C-alpha cells in the first residue's frame, strides 16, 4: 500500500458568527415559535450572521473550514488539531475526490482567529492507491485511528507535524462492505477497546431486500456477521474480522457513539424503512413517514436491541414485532418483550449519523452531561415533509434520558430539506479542548464551530432561571404533517412564457395520453399508489445520492423506451450497478397496471424532449 501526504497552507472561508432569537420554552404545549436569526438586531456578541445556522440565544457559530470534501466524522486533539475523515463513491454521485488523501488535518493558528482554520493538510490513501475514504475516525494514546475501505488503521502522530510521516498499521481488516450500509464508524474507550459498527446489509433481513411482502429470513443469518457492534483491541495490529468479536447484536446501523463521564457507552440506531411500502395492508401511507423511531441505545456486552424482528414504535413507546416476522402493524410484541429498549427515541428517518457527549464547561450547565446528535436528514418521509437536517441536544441522567430532546442547531439544509436539495447536511460531531462544538457537513465539506458567548447565569439575556430557552424536538410519534409536494408547486409546473411559445412539456409516448402523464406525476410523488419515487430520484427526477437522475438521457436498465421503463418499474432493480440500495419492484408498493403505465409515461415524458409523440 502506498502512502501519500500533501501539505498546503491557505486561508479558508471567513469565520462567521451567528446569533439567534428566543426559543419557545420546553412544555407539553405545541411550539409557538421557531428559530429566528438576529443579524438585523445587531447583537454585539455575534455581529455577523451569514453561516445560515440557527442556535439558542447566546451561541455563535463560525465556518471553521469549507470545501474539504464529503466530511464525515471528526476527532480533536488536546492541542486543538481537528482530524476529519472524508468519503467518496456512488453516494456522492462519484464526483472527483480532493487530491492529497481522504484524511484532513485542520488547525487555527494560535495568533489568529480560533474560529477559522488557516492551516489545512491532507494525507492518507487516495483514489490512485485504491482508497474510497471512510466515516470512522478517533484518537487514542497519541495515535490517530481511521476507517479506510474495509480496514481500521492507526497512524503515529509526530510531535512536530500535523500529519503522519509513516504508513499506518492495520488494526483490523476484512470488515464487510456489501449491501445497504458499508461504513464503519467506531469509538475507542479509555481501556483501548475499539467498538466498530458493522451495520446490516439489508433493510429488514427479508428474503428479497426491500421487496413487497417478502418475509424475513428465519433465522436471520445476516446477524452472524452484520447488524451489530464488534469489539477489537486498539493496541493490537493485524486483527481480522470474524463472528467471534461481536459485542452486541440487533442493531441495524449504529453510526454515532458517545461515552459519558462514568464510562457508559451510547450508540445511535437508524430505524428501518418502508413499512407501508412493503406492507401496505398493515400500515397507512402516513406511517411510512412516522415509523419506526430513531433511537439512542445504552450499549452493553451481549445486548440484543431487536433488529430485524422488532422496531420501536415512538407513539406506543415500545418495541413491536416487525411484519416480516409475524407482526400485525403494531399490536403483537412476541420476542420483542425480551429485547433491550432504547434510552431515547426520535422522529422516524431523521438519520442520527453522529453523536458526542458534552462534558466540557464552555456551554451553560443546561447543555452539560448530555449528548449532541447530528441528524443527517430523511429521504423516505415523502410525500410528507422530510425531517432532521439538524443537531439536537439530549439530556442524560445516568443510563437514562434526563429530559426531552431539544433542537440545538438548524438551518443546515437551507430552503429545502431533502437529500437532493439540502445545501448542507450535518454528519459528525466533536468537542474541542476549549469546549467548542464542531459539526461536519458531508455535502460541501463545511466544518462549523459553535461556542457560547452569552455569559453564565440567570442574568444573561435568553436564559430563564439559569436555563436556556429551547425548542423541543417533535415527539417520536409525531404526525407526518401535510403532503408537501402538492403545496410546493402547481401540478402543471411554472412556465412564465407558456402563452408565448410552443409547449415545453416532455413528449407523450405512443400508447399513452397527457392525462396518463399527469396521473404518473401523482404516482411519482407518492400522492397515488404509495410508491414515493421522490425519496431516491428527487422531486422532479433530477436524481439524488440514493438514486440516478431520470432526466439525464442515460439508461442503466432499459433502452429508455416506454415499454422498457415500465418493465424496470415492474421488475425493480435488485442489484444496482451504481447505487448501493436496490429498488424494489414497483417501488415497494402495489401499483395497479394503470398506475405502472402512468408512471412509465411520466418518466418517459420528463426524460424526452417534446418533439411530438414517440414512435416507440
Model pLDDT, residue 462: 52
Length of the chain: 616
What's the structural domain count of the chain? 2
Assigned domain for 477 exists:
no
Model pLDDT, residue 501: 33
Spatial separation of the C-alpha atoms in residues 369 and 434, rounded to whole Å: 16
543's CB contacts (< 8 A; 6+ apart) are 93, 420, 537, 549, 550, 551, 552
**527 three-class SS:** coil
Cell digits of residue 72: 464525515
Give the residue-averaged pLDDT of 205-218. Answer: 94
472, 506, 521 - which closes a domain: 472
| Co-location of 504 and 432 in the same domain | no
Assigned domain for 485 exists:
no
Regarding pTM above 0.85, the answer is no
Assigned domain for 616 exists:
no
Assigned domain for 486 exists:
no
Please indicate whether residue 554 or residue 418 has the higher confidence score (pLDDT).
Answer: 418
Model pLDDT, residue 455: 63
Q: Are strands 169-173 and 239-240 parallel, antiparallel or unpaired?
A: parallel
Name which of 524, 603, 523, 516 is nearest 565 in CA terms.
Answer: 603
Model pLDDT, residue 20: 29
> Do 315 and 272 form a contact (C-beta atoms < 8 A)?
no
Please indicate whether residue 89 or residue 257 has the higher confidence score (pLDDT).
Answer: 257
Is the pLDDT at 601 greater than 70? The verdict is yes
pLDDT class for 17, splitting at 50, 70, 90?
A: very low
| Cβ neighbours around 602 below 10 Å, total | 27
Model pLDDT, residue 50: 62
Of the candidate ranges 52-56, 298-302, 310-314, 506-510, the one whose mean pLDDT is the lowest: 506-510
Assigned domain for 482 exists:
no
524's CB contacts (< 8 A; 6+ apart) are 533, 534, 541, 599, 602, 603
Q: Which of 78-92, 315-329, 466-480 has the highest mean pLDDT?
A: 315-329
| Co-location of 151 and 182 in the same domain | yes
Q: What is the pLDDT of residues 485-539, one digit of tens each?
A: 533 333 333 233 333 333 335 889 899 998 888 888 888 887 777 777 887 887 7
| Co-location of 467 and 562 in the same domain | no
| Co-location of 230 and 371 in the same domain | yes
CATH assignment at residue 522: 1.10.760.10
Is the pLDDT at 23 greater than 70? The verdict is no
Q: Give bridge partners of residue 451 from the DSSP assignment.
A: 60
| Co-location of 432 and 303 in the same domain | yes
User: Directed axis angle between helix 514-524 and helix 593-607, to 10°?
Assistant: 100
CATH assignment at residue 100: 2.120.10.30
Spatial separation of the C-alpha atoms in residues 235 and 237, rounded to whole Å: 7
Model pLDDT, residue 24: 30
pLDDT class for 571, splitting at 50, 70, 90?
A: confident
pLDDT class for 615, splitting at 50, 70, 90?
A: very low
Give the residue-averaged pLDDT of 582-596. Answer: 83
Q: Domain range for residue 109? A: 5-472
Of the candidate ranges 72-76, 114-118, 344-348, 464-468, the one whose mean pLDDT is the lowest: 464-468
pLDDT class for 411, splitting at 50, 70, 90?
A: very high
Q: What is the pLDDT of residues 254-291, one digit of tens each?
A: 999 999 999 999 999 999 999 998 999 999 999 999 99
Burial 50-75 (b: 16+ CB within 10 A, else e): ebbbbbbbbbbbbbbbbebbbbbbbb
Assigned domain for 484 exists:
no
| Co-location of 138 and 111 in the same domain | yes
Assigned domain for 575 exists:
yes
Is the pLDDT at 43 greater than 90? The verdict is no
**557 three-class SS:** coil
Cell digits of residue 208: 428479497
Name which of 215, 102, 234 is nearest 172 in CA terms.
Answer: 234
The Cα-based distances of 545 to 251, 548, 557 in angstroms read 24, 8, 18
| Co-location of 459 and 432 in the same domain | yes
Assigned domain for 178 exists:
yes
| Co-location of 451 and 521 in the same domain | no
| Co-location of 127 and 17 in the same domain | yes
| Co-location of 53 and 100 in the same domain | yes
Q: What is the pLDDT of residues 151-193, one digit of tens each?
A: 999 999 999 999 999 999 999 999 999 999 999 999 999 999 9
Spatial separation of the C-alpha atoms in residues 268 and 299, rounded to whole Å: 10
pLDDT class for 614, splitting at 50, 70, 90?
A: very low
| Cβ neighbours around 348 below 10 Å, total | 31
Q: What is the pLDDT of residues 547-566, one digit of tens each?
A: 788 886 677 778 889 998 99
Is the pLDDT at 588 greater than 80? The verdict is no
Mean pLDDT of the chain: 85
| Co-location of 425 and 515 in the same domain | no
Of the candidate ranges 12-21, 157-166, 376-385, the one whose mean pLDDT is the lowest: 12-21
| Co-location of 581 and 438 in the same domain | no
Alpha helix segments (H runs only) across 501-556: 514-524, 534-537
In the chain, the percentage of residues whose pLDDT exceeds 90 is 65
Is the pLDDT at 578 greater than 80? The verdict is no
Is the pLDDT at 546 greater than 80? The verdict is no
Spatial separation of the C-alpha atoms in residues 245 and 225, rounded to whole Å: 10
Spatial separation of the C-alpha atoms in residues 48 and 199, rounded to whole Å: 41
Spatial separation of the C-alpha atoms in residues 389 and 557, rounded to whole Å: 32
Amino acid at each position: 500500500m502506498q502512502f501519500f501526504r500533501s501539505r498546503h497552507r491557505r486561508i479558508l472561508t471567513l469565520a462567521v458568527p451567528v446569533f439567534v432569537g428566543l426559543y419557545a420554552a420546553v412544555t407539553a404545549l405545541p411550539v409557538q415559535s421557531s428559530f429566528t436569526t438576529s443579524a438585523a438586531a445587531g447583537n454585539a456578541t455575534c455581529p455577523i450572521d451569514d453561516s445560515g445556522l440557527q442556535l439558542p440565544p447566546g451561541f455563535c457559530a463560525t465556518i471553521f473550514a469549507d470545501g474539504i470534501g464529503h466530511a464525515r466524522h471528526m476527532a480533536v486533539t488536546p492541542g486543538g488539531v481537528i482530524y476529519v475523515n472524508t468519503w467518496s463513491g456512488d453516494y456522492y454521485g462519484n464526483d472527483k475526490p480532493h487530491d492529497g488523501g481522504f484524511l484532513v488535518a485542520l488547525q487555527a493558528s494560535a495568533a489568529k482567529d480560533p474560529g477559522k482554520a488557516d492551516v489545512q493538510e491532507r494525507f492518507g490513501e487516495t483514489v490512485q492507491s485504491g482508497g474510497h475514504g471512510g466515516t470512522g475516525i478517533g484518537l487514542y494514546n497519541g495515535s490517530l485511528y481511521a476507517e479506510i475501505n474495509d480496514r481500521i488503521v492507526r497512524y503515529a502522530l509526530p510531535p512536530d507535524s500535523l500529519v503522519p510521516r509513516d504508513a499506518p498499521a492495520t488494526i483490523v481488516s476484512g470488515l464487510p462492505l456489501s449491501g445497504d450500509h458499508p461504513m464503519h464508524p467506531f469509538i475507542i474507550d479509555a481501556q483501548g477497546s475499539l467498538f466498530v459498527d458493522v451495520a446490516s446489509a439489508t433493510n429488514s433481513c427479508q428474503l428479497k431486500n426491500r421487496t413487497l411482502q417478502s418475509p424475513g429470513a428465519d433465522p436471520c443469518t445476516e446477524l452472524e456477521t452484520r447488524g451489530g457492534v464488534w469489539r477489537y483491541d486498539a493496541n493490537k495490529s493485524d486483527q481480522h474480522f470474524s463472528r467471534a468479536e461481536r459485542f452486541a447484536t440487533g442493531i441495524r446501523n449504529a453510526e454515532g457513539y458517545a461515552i459519558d463521564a462514568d464510562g457508559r457507552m451510547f450508540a445511535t440506531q437508524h430505524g428501518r424503512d418502508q413499512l407501508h411500502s412493503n406492507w401496505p395492508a398493515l400500515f397507512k401511507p402516513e406511517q411510512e413517514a412516522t415509523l419506526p423511531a430513531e433511537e439512542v441505545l445504552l450499549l452493553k456486552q451481549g445486548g440484543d436491541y431487536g433488529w430485524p424482528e422488532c422496531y420501536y414504535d415512538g407513539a406506543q413507546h415500545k418495541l413491536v414485532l416487525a411484519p416480516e416476522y409475524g407482526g400485525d402493524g403494531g399490536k403483537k410484541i412476541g420476542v420483542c418483550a425480551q429485547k433491550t429498549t432504547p434510552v431515547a427515541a426520535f422522529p422516524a428517518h431523521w438519520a442520527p449519523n453522529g453523536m458526542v457527549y458534552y462534558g466540557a464547561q464552555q456551554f451553560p450547565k443546561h447543555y452539560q452531561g448530555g449528548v449532541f446528535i447530528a441528524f443527517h436528514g430523511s429521504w423516505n418521509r415523502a410525500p410528507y415533509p422530510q425531517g432532521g437536517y439538524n443537531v439536537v441536544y439530549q439530556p442524560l441522567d445516568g443510563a437514562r434520558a434526563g429530559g426531552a430532546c431539544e433542537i440545538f442547531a438548524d438551518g443546515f439544509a437551507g430552503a429545502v430539506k431533502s437529500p437532493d436539495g439540502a445545501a448542507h447536511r450535518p454528519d459528525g460531531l466533536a468537542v474541542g479542548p476549549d469546549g467548542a462544538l464542531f459539526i461536519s457537513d458531508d455535502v460541501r465539506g463545511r466544518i462549523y464551530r459553535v461556542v457560547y458567548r452569552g455569559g453564565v447565569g440567570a442574568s444573561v439575556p435568553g436564559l430563564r432561571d439559569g436555563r436556556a430557552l429551547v425548542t423541543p424536538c417533535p415527539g417520536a410519534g409525531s404526525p407526518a404533517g401535510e403532503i408537501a409536494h402538492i403545496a410546493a408547486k402547481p401540478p402543471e409546473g411554472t412556465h412564465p412564457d407558456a402563452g408565448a411559445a410552443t409547449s415545453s412539456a416532455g413528449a407523450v409516448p405512443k400508447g399513452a395520453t397527457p392525462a396518463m402523464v399527469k396521473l404518473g406525476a401523482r404516482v411519482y410523488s407518492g400522492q397515488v399508489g404509495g410508491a414515493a419515487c421522490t425519496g431516491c430520484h428527487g422531486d422532479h427526477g433530477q436524481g439524488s445520492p440514493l438514486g440516478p437522475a431520470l432526466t439525464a438521457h442515460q439508461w442503466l436498465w432499459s433502452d429508455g423506451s416506454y415499454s422498457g421503463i415500465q418493465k424496470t418499474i415492474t421488475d425493480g432493480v435488485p442489484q444496482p450497478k451504481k447505487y448501493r440500495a436496490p429498488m424494489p419492484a414497483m417501488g415497494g408498493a402495489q401499483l395497479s397496471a394503470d398506475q405502472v403505465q402512468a408512471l412509465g409515461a411520466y418518466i418517459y415524458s420528463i426524460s424526452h424532449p417534446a418533439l411530438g409523440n414517440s414512435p416507440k
